[in-house]
């Protein structure tokens, strides 16, 4: 096989985070009898992405991210409530939102059956990601689970991947591939760490000029050919 270990991002690669986020936010807003429509749901999504990008750059930490996204949203829509309590309720709902993306289960099963080690490498919350992975049943195919809250660093920082290298068996970097939907976190992070990268780009988005993945796929099943099981 061309690779001994495949590291998957979770949200936007294996699981549909956008759907989980939308449902969790809508249910929490409804619990408070606050306004809940497509406009506010879409605006939260925009704000959340902005602060996750800030996290990748090291400009905010997880606590600041959680607070600032609601602070901005609530300010724009005139919502008054305790942010910490709202976020607690939101997170509890989010961890139950486990929705597989197309062919995620199939490719993990096939790679596992072909004796390729699998891991997930996520910037998400530890309790949320582990719960969602186990709920959907992907954990039975995984050899490793790496989440930034436990590691203490986020992708794309080299320290995140150095932690992974310390935990895995003696696998050469050239035999490790990072698969993810984020150019700035997954692909740049993988390149910073000196491993092979594969950009999962199901919607055919334009790439960022200075970030070049080794491979690009639209369907997770395309990994069959890349790893040599076709």
Whether 219 and 102 have beta carbons less than 8 Å apart is answered as yes
Beta bridge partners of 119: 7, 144
**Tokens linked to 46:** 């925009």
3-class DSSP state of 190: helix
Q: Closest Cα to residue 76, out of 114, 115, 35?
A: 35
> Mind telling me the catalytic residues?
9
Beta bridge partners of 8: 120, 179
Report the Cα–Cα distance between both ends of the chain, in Å, rounded: 11
Measured CA to CA in angstroms, residue 136 lies from 95, 124, 194 at distances of 11, 16, 31
Strands (E), 168-229: 176-180, 196-200, 215-217
Q: Can you tell me the distance from the alpha carbon of 141 to that of 191, in angstroms, rounded to the nearest whole number?
A: 25
Q: Closest Cα to residue 69, out of 154, 55, 11, 56?
A: 55
3-class DSSP state of 122: strand
Question: What element of type H or E holds 119?
Answer: strand 117-122
């Amino acid at each position: 096989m061309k690779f001994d270990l495949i590291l998957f991002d979770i949200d936007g690669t294996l699981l549909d985070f956008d759907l989980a986020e939308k449902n969790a936010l809508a249910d929490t807003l409804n619990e408070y009898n606050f306004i809940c429509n497509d406009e506010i749901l879409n605006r939260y999504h925009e704000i959340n992405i902005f602060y996750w990008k800030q996290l990748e750059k090291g400009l905010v930490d997880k606590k600041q991210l959680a607070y600032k996204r609601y602070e901005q949203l609530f300010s724009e829509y005139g919502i008054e409530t305790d942010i910490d309590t709202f976020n607690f309720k939101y997170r509890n709902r989010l961890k139950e939102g486990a929705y597989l993306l197309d062919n995620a289960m199939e490719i993990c099963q096939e790679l596992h059956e072909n004796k390729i080690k699998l891991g997930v490498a996520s910037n998400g919350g530890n309790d949320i990601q582990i719960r969602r992975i186990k709920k959907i049943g992907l954990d039975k195919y995984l050899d490793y689970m790496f989440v930034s809250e436990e590691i203490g660093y986020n992708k794309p920082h080299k320290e995140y991947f150095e932690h992974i290298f310390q935990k895995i068996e003696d696998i050469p970097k050239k035999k490790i591939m990072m698969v993810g939907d984020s150019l700035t976190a997954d692909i740049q992070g993988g390149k910073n760490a000196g491993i092979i990268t594969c950009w999962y780009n199901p919607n055919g988005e334009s790439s960022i000029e200075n970030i070049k993945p080794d491979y690009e796929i639209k369907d997770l099943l395309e990994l069959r050919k890349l790893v040599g099981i076709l």
